[in-house]
Amino acid sequence: MPSVEALWLALREDADRPALKTGDAVVTCGALVNAIVRRMVLLDESGATRVALALDNGIEWAAWDLALLFSGRICVPVPGFFSPAQKVHVLESAGVDTCIGAEPPQGAAGFECHSPGVWKRAVAQAAPLPEGTRKITYTSGTTGNPKGVCLDAKSLLAVADSVHKASATLDIRHHLCVLPLATLLENVAGLYAPLLKGACVDLRPMQEIGLKGASGFDVGQFLRVLNESRPHSVILLPQLLLALVAAAEAGHRPPPSLRFIAVGGARVSPALLHRADTLGLPVYEGYGLSECASVACLNTPQARRIGTVGRPLPHVELRVADDGEIHVRGSRLLGYVGEAPHGDDWLATGDLGTVENGFVTLIGRRKSMFITAYGRNVNPEWVEAELVLQSPIAQAWLHGEARAENVAVLVPRGEGISDADLQSAVDRVNERLPDYARVHRWVRAREPFTPANGLATPNGRLRRDALAAIHFPTEVSA
């Protein structure tokens, strides 16, 4: 297993090799090491222990994150797409005493400027953390405030090592960060993994990439950056992959430099993966969660099966419990902030799935399943993933708990989408579904499902309880 020292040595081995870039600006490994050392000195001078990173994607984010990793301090990334209240919750619950950014998040109390971009405050009583905690990543969850997942450096680097070895045959030398580095997936698989294998990481501000907040995406801007950067690899969420595939089908082909397009974060429709395959896009679906230090399973060039999330990576073991829930052992959380350390070797993921010939197929979230009035179990994520593949439908939520009919709440993809357009899209999906899972009735959503209105998490997962409270309040109150 690689250690923090192994990553440090990888950066020091070849001082002239490009490590990071943004646009025309390139930072060599030697320059990055010097930048890291300067920041470690500043951290020593400030007496920082628990440090929040409130920065946009860029060389600064990477340099500070690595300085915290190599100095043994606790890093607390603050996602830019979190609401002001969520950002304050992150700082307060984690007991952050130092904040790195142009200024502390709005509403954060007690911070004073220690040096340019470094803010300090006294913390009277910080929540206890499991021993060995080096990163606290906050999961958006589906209800309530984000939860702080405590991880050690060993787990983070074990995942990074597995990811870079999984794509080793493709000789990836240039990775473009598309997702925020404050998300663990891009942090581990998009920064640590490329640096471990000697690749250069292209870091652009999120607005330049085309991502706006947690739900806005300018596919035209993304394609421009993609063709300018000409990366070997990118990591995408399913919504971004759908936009890329639709653009490619319309004639806007991505650069031929792409060798590895990893996709994960939520359920991906096999139909979308087949469309990508037809276009010759090298898409590899994976699976993981923050509690497993990110990626646990991944399709690879040597072992790929569309419709599955691949096989478990070498650093983990996986089993399916009698009730169908996936359990993972290996790299995992130490515990949650403010809670007792996680004691069990096996982590119950909350995801349902099956394993065949080593390949893992996800069925859905255990909490998302509903039972119809006729006693049939329905996984709504399956149906929703098929609905949003239809061009008139941007978002979909399926509700059917204890009902004789399944009702879909649909967000149209534009103002000009008629009821007839939506009905035709629903009819096409229903043709491929068994009766019990079909959309028997649908209504237009009152507004898009976004983190801002509390109807979706930042990675696009629906907040089902919140949606039910708005669209079916009498059923919820009953």
pLDDT value at 374 more than 70:
no
Candidate ranges 300-309, 344-353, 364-373; pick with highest mean pLDDT: 300-309
- pLDDT of 143 reads 47
- pLDDT of 193 reads 96
pLDDT value at 142 more than 60:
no
pLDDT value at 1 more than 60:
no
Neighbours of 356 (CB within 10 A): 9
For the stretch 321-351, pLDDT in tens is 999 999 999 988 999 998 888 877 899 998 8
pLDDT value at 47 more than 90:
yes
How many residues does this entry show for the chain? 478
pLDDT value at 86 more than 80:
yes
Give the pLDDT mean for 243-252. Answer: 92
Q: CA angle at residue 335 from 330 to 339, to 5 degrees?
A: 160
- pLDDT of 215 reads 54
More confident site: 372 or 249: 249
Return the structure tokens found at 253: 């082909």
pLDDT value at 477 more than 50:
no
Candidate ranges 7-16, 48-57, 270-279, 395-404; pick with highest mean pLDDT: 48-57
Give the pLDDT mean for 5-26. Answer: 92
Give the separation between CA 173 and CA 18, rounded to whole angstroms.
Answer: 10
Percent of the chain with pLDDT over 70: 96
- Residue 176 has phi, psi (to 5 degrees) of -100, 120
- pLDDT of 2 reads 63
Give the pLDDT mean for 217-235. Answer: 93
Give the separation between CA 292 and CA 297, rounded to whole angstroms.
Answer: 10
pLDDT value at 141 more than 70:
no
- pLDDT of 64 reads 98
Give the pLDDT mean for 181-185. Answer: 95
Residue 2 and residue 158 in contact, taking contact as beta carbons nearer than 8 Å: yes
For the stretch 193-221, pLDDT in tens is 999 999 999 999 999 999 875 556 788 99
- pLDDT of 213 reads 58
pLDDT value at 368 more than 90:
no
In three state form, how does the secondary structure of the chain look? CCCHHHHHHHHHCCCCCEEEEECCEEEEHHHHHHHHHHHHHHHHHHCCCEEEECCCCCHHHHHHHHHHHHHCCEEEECCCCCCHHHHHHHHHHHCCCEEECCCCCCCCCCCEEEECCEEECCCCCCCCCCCCCCEEEEECCCCCCCEEEEECHHHHHHHHHHHHHHCHHHCCCEEECCCCCCCHHHHHHHHHHHHHCCCEEECCCHHHHCEECCCEECHHHHHHHHHHHCCCEEEECHHHHHHHHHHHHCCCCCCCCCCEEEECCCCCCHHHHHHHHHCCCCEEEEEEEHHHCEEEEECCCCCCCCCCCCEECCCEEEEECCCCEEEEEECCCCEECCCCECCCCEEEEEEEEEEECCEEEEEEEHHHCEECCCCCEECHHHHHHHHCCCCCEEEEEEECCCCCCCEEEEEECCCCCCHHHHHHHHHHHHCCCCHHHCCCEEEECCCCCCCCCCCECCCCCECHHHHHHHHCHHHHHC
* Average predicted confidence (pLDDT) for the chain: 91
Residue 391 and residue 343 in contact, taking contact as beta carbons nearer than 8 Å: no
Neighbours of 468 (CB within 10 A): 16
- pLDDT of 316 reads 94
- pLDDT of 35 reads 97
Neighbours of 120 (CB within 10 A): 17
Instruction: Say how many CA atoms lie within 13 Å of 360 toward its Cβ.
Output: 28
Measured on CA atoms in the order 345, 350, 355, 359, is the torsion positive or negative? negative
For the stretch 172-181, pLDDT in tens is 999 999 999 9
Give the separation between CA 1 and CA 9, rounded to whole angstroms.
Answer: 14
- pLDDT of 357 reads 95
Measured on CA atoms in the order 249, 300, 227, 55, is the torsion positive or negative? positive
Domains of the chain and CATH, by start: 1-366 (3.40.50.12780), 369-477 (3.30.300.30)
pLDDT value at 475 more than 80:
no
- pLDDT of 214 reads 52
- Residue 360 has phi, psi (to 5 degrees) of -100, 130
Residue among 139, 232, 129, 154 at smallest CA distance from 185: 139
For residue 26, list its beta bridge partners: 21
| pLDDT-derived band at 478, boundaries 50, 70, 90 | very low
Return the structure tokens found at 420: 């007839």
- pLDDT of 144 reads 59
pLDDT value at 138 more than 50:
yes
Candidate ranges 80-89, 285-294, 365-374; pick with highest mean pLDDT: 285-294
pLDDT value at 356 more than 90:
yes
pLDDT value at 317 more than 50:
yes
pLDDT value at 235 more than 70:
yes
Among 371-375, 414-418, 438-442, whose mean pLDDT is lowest? 371-375
- pLDDT of 296 reads 96
For residue 233, list its beta bridge partners: 175, 260
The DSSP bridge pattern shows strands 233-236 and 260-263 to be parallel
